[in-house]
Amino acid sequence: MFALKPSLVQTKIYENGSRKALGGKKNARFFAKASIENDDVKVVVYSAHEYERKYLTESVLNVFGGSRSKLVTARLTEETVDLSIGCNVACCFVNDDLSESVLKRLRENGVEAIMLRCAGFDRVCVETAKELGIEVYRVPRYDPESISDMAIALIMALNRKIVISHDRVKVGNFMLDGLVGFRMRGKTIGILGTGKIGRGLSQAMVHGFGMRCLGYDKYPDKEGFAGTYVDTIDELIEQSDVISLHLPLNEETKHVINENTIKKMKKGAMLINTSRGGLLNIKEVILGLRNGSIGSLGIDVYETEEKIFAIDFSKLTIEEKMIYWDDTFAQLSSLPQVIVTPHQAFLTHDALEEISKTTKENIEAFAKRDVANGSQNGNRIC
């Protein structure tokens, strides 16, 4: 009924694709093979968006497998997995499904390696990949300043009510009521997670805006961090006027912002998340926004974003939209003190060039069976 479903071509491949059952532990033995030529590497690129096609074509399609490699706009799911038949490498993006069941199907189809075009791998069942003998690579670093820049953009847009002001002017309302912001200089920003993105943000906020900066990280790296580390998350939250999240998503960090942490925030504090949607218990965050505990929220990620991000809903009716938009997202996006962007923080020409370059290098490492180099540079997960 809707354009969101797999196309007829995809469905036909799914229905007619033949598969051979392969035992997981036996599969690991194929890594004893010698290196293979680039022409023998056949890549299926899932979630291939229009904005990255030029980069992927130059770095992947023109280098590996010739006409047998392909770009697929569909996200990798159980319904689209058989588009990988005939390929030995699957190149995937941040919201592709790499759960146990999908990985098994990929391996049955002949896929020997996964190339992630992102840093995070929380959607990959790593243990299953190991059992099946599937190599998994990622892009651990790509223009981290792009993401810290986006965090700054969200902070400024929320503080100075840029979106509200812009919308008013478009309809002829030039009133200033309700547009009052605050001076950044002298305020405190708390940065949860001080990897390259968090450290870059600290430099900009301290040296560019004159803010006081606090940081928390399980493994603090003082080199390049422009602020002061605190010992606990609670200590950071209690003192911060702005809180920006730059943590990986795992069992320890899931819903790190919840009812209990919200109670400890300064009343009216600003919350920014350009990392992973699952860091927020979004229902409890919405309650905090409604009662004023949280003053404003800027997010570039959402916990179940794979259902809605990178999809154009503009031509659907309200009823059709609600099939995919859960009630929680509908509530969130209706709040005036909230800005939601569709996981675009990374999206710069510089980052796309770095991602495609590293992806090419990862595929070459797989083709050469260069396991040691892939592990040393942090690109190879398993």
Q: Which amino acid is at 7?
A: S
Q: Give the end-to-end CA distance of the chain in Å, rounded to a whole number.
A: 40
Instruction: Answer yes or no: 305 catalytic.
Output: yes
Given 343, 354, 361, 380, which residue is catalytic? 343
Buried b (16+ CB within 10 A) or exposed e, 304-335: ebbebbbeeeeebeeeeeeeebbeebeebeee
Given 199, 276, 354, 361, which residue is catalytic? 276
Question: What is the distance between the alpha carbons of residues 224 and 198, in angstroms, rounded to a whole number?
Answer: 10
Given 52, 131, 303, 305, which residue is catalytic? 305
In contact, 112 and 323? CB cutoff 8 Å? no
DSSP letters, 276-308, are -GGGB-HHHHHHHHHTTSEEEEEES--TTGGGT
- 130 Cβ neighbours under 8 A, 6+ residues apart: 382
DSSP letters, 169-182, are HHTT----TT----
Question: What is the distance between the alpha carbons of residues 349 and 355, in angstroms, rounded to a whole number?
Answer: 10
Task: List alpha helices for the chain, DSSP H.
Answer: 8-16, 24-27, 53-56, 100-108, 126-132, 144-159, 162-170, 196-203, 233-239, 259-264, 282-290, 318-324, 327-334, 349-367, 371-376
* Of 226, 245, 248, 227, residue with least CA distance to 237: 245
* Of 94, 139, 274, residue with least CA distance to 197: 274
- 1 Cβ neighbours under 8 A, 6+ residues apart: none
Q: Which residue has the tokens 């190149």?
A: 91
What are the residue numbers of the active site?
276, 305, 343
